[in-house]
Amino acid sequence: MTTYIGILGMENTNIGEREVNPRQLLEESLRKELISHSSELLHNLLQFDFSADSETIASMNKHHAAAMRSLASLSGRLQGFQSALECIDDYACVNGLRMWHEEMKRIISYNVEQEVNK
């Protein structure tokens, strides 16, 4: 068995008969958590209640204000995730910004596809 020093400065490790790369494990775990938290956030904050009385101007203004509040909250939280992943670049040598763009693209594409197929 040969081991080598990875980018994180840690050696590959054998767990049972399987060799584990710490950097790859970190990246996979970050992606999984990003997908989980981002999907949940999008699902919870992009729920809009447009009731039958949406014909009136006052009702439409109320729904518009609620939608804007939800989108502003979503924007702030997603920017927090993005900033955290950008910081990972500096400390763990994992391309966090690339990861952010790839996973957000996957999440949005998946949800658009689900809506189109309804």
pLDDT tens digits, 83-99 = 988 888 778 878 888 99
Q: Which two tokens stand for residue 42?
A: 């999008």
Please give the DSSP secondary-structure letter assigned to residue 19. E
> What mean pLDDT, rounded, does the chain reach?
83
If phi > 0 it is left, if psi is from -120 to 50 it is alpha, else beta; for residue 77 that is alpha
Whole-model pTM: value is 0.74
Coil, helix or strand at residue 13: strand
2 pLDDT tier (thresholds 50, 70, 90): very low
Digit-coded pLDDT (tens) for 58-69: 777 888 888 899
pLDDT of residue 25: 86
Instruction: Give the tens place of pLDDT for each residue, 99-117.
Output: 999 999 999 999 999 989 9
Rounded to whole angstroms, the Cα distance separating 21 from 12 reads 5
Token pair of 116 as six digits: 């189109």
* pLDDT over threshold 70, residue 14: yes
Indicate if the pLDDT at residue 55 is higher than 50.
yes
